């Protein structure tokens, strides 16, 4: 099958592109190589994809003519590209153009394909709001520009399913961790600062926040399991994550245990829009995708520490 992966040099997108190739599919990657975080990490991910035989086109989904620049025989799209996370460095325009305009353009491109089977939108638990413990039919209450624009992107995709113009589904991911995690994310930053002996900046009150910290390999298991299920999944929203909750403090302690030394903490003011609890309800994923994440937090952190030491130490 010929598959397009947007955001292909990103954290989860790169892992998914590799897995799809290992499953025997012909994968085309696109990415705009945004300077939002280290280009060195993106180059590292791109090199890994090249070794797997995956070429990545540098395109801006917001402005480029996708139908003229991308193949016309794509059958599946996995749409990871987005302005990620909750960051004071990102403007509303960043979220709006990258998450809404870009998604609209990818949808329009998909509609031009003659043998297209399924558009897989990659959503987020941030769509639910400050607490994300619900089934997929719960009314969303996003509390950040990121969550609001990701909800809008999701609805742009599912609109075309409701109009019977293309088959589409959306996967809402929960607190993904593991090798290639972005440098500003919790575990990469904990590992980096812990190895350097520098303090970790912790937002006030967040030590008690609960998270479904989910290993990236378990997430990819769920993402690729949609293949061949386009009739069953058309129009569906599905949560992907672990049902096991950990506090941020437990996450810090796990990194300390793996590194074998304590990490100093520097308390910062609260961050607006930060979720206080995420716990993935995956009953639907179990039923429709036979989804069963198994990696423990300790196993995931060990894999991430090993990866970090291999590439950055």
**142-189 pLDDT tens trace:** 999 999 999 999 999 999 999 999 999 999 999 999 999 999 899 999
**244-259 pLDDT tens trace:** 999 999 999 999 999 9
CA 159 to chain centre: 21
Model confidence at 54, pLDDT cuts 50, 70, 90, reads very high
Model confidence at 276, pLDDT cuts 50, 70, 90, reads confident
Let me know if 146 is a catalytic residue: yes
Residue ranges of the domains in the chain?
2-175+213-242+280-293, 186-209+245-277+304-312
Measured distance CA(275)–CA(210) in Å, rounded: 9
Strands 246-247 and 210-211: antiparallel
User: Active site residue: 146, 174, 291, 308, which one?
Assistant: 146
How many residues appear in the chain? 313
Closest by CA position to 62, among listed 120, 166, 128, 149: 149
CB 171 within 8 A of CB 121: yes
2-175+213-242+280-293 topology per CATH: Rossmann fold (3.40.50)
Burial of 65 (0-12, 13-18, 19+ CB in 10 A): exposed
The answer, yes or no, to whether residue 192 has pLDDT greater than 90, is yes
Task: State the alpha helices, DSSP H only, in 64-185.
Answer: 66-69, 92-95, 102-111, 145-162
Measured distance CA(195)–CA(197) in Å, rounded: 6
CB 109 within 8 A of CB 61: no
* Mean pLDDT of the chain, nearest integer: 96
CB 237 within 8 A of CB 169: yes
Query: Which CATH superfamily, name and number, covers 186-209+245-277+304-312?
Result: UDP-galactose 4-epimerase, domain 1 (3.90.25.10)
**106-153 pLDDT tens trace:** 999 999 999 999 999 999 999 999 999 999 999 999 999 999 999 999
- Is 168 in a helix, a strand, or coil? strand
Task: Spell out the SS3 assignment of 6-43.
Answer: ECCCCHHHHHHHHHHHHCCCEEEEEECCCCCCCHHHHH
Closest by CA position to 240, among listed 201, 272, 280, 204: 280
**217-242 pLDDT tens trace:** 999 999 999 999 999 999 999 999 99
Helices and strands counted in the chain (H then E): 12, 15
Measured distance CA(102)–CA(79) in Å, rounded: 10
pTM for the whole structure: 0.96
The answer, yes or no, to whether residue 88 has pLDDT greater than 70, is no
């Amino acid at each position: 099958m010929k598959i397009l992966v947007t955001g292909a040099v990103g954290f989860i997108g790169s892992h998914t592109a590799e897995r799809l190739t290992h499953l025997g599919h012909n994968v085309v990657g696109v990415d705009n190589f945004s300077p939002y975080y280290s280009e060195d990490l993106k180059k590292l991910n791109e090199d890994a994809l090249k070794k797997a035989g995956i070429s990545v086109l540098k395109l801006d989904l917001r402005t480029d003519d996708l139908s003229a620049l991308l193949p016309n025989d794509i059958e599946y799209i996995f749409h990871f590209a987005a302005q990620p996370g909750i960051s004071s460095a990102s403007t509303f325009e960043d979220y709006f153009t990258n998450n809404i305009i870009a998604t609209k353009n990818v949808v329009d491109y998909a509609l031009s394909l003659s043998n297209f089977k399924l558009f897989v939108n990659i959503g987020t638990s941030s769509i639910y709001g400050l607490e994300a413990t619900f089934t997929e039919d719960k009314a969303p209450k996003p509390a950040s520009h990121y969550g609001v624009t990701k909800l809008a992107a999701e609805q742009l995709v599912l609109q075309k399913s409701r109009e019977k113009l293309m088959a589409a589904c959306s996967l809402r991911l929960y607190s993904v961790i593991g090798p290639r995690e972005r440098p500003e994310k919790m575990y990469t930053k904990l590992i980096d600062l812990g190895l350097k002996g520098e303090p970790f900046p912790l937002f006030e009150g967040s030590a008690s926040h609960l998270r479904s910290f989910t290993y990236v390999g378990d997430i990819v298991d769920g993402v690729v399991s949609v293949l061949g299920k386009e009739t069953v999944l058309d129009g569906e929203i599905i949560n992907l994550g672990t049902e096991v909750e950990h506090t941020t403090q437990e996450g810090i302690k796990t990194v300390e245990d793996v590194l074998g030394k304590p990490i100093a903490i520097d308390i910062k003011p609260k961050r607006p829009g930060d979720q206080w609890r995420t716990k993935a309800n995956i009953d639907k994923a179990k039923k429709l995708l036979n989804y069963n994440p198994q990696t423990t937090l300790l196993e995931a952190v060990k894999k991430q520490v090993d990866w970090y030491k291999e590439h950055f130490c």
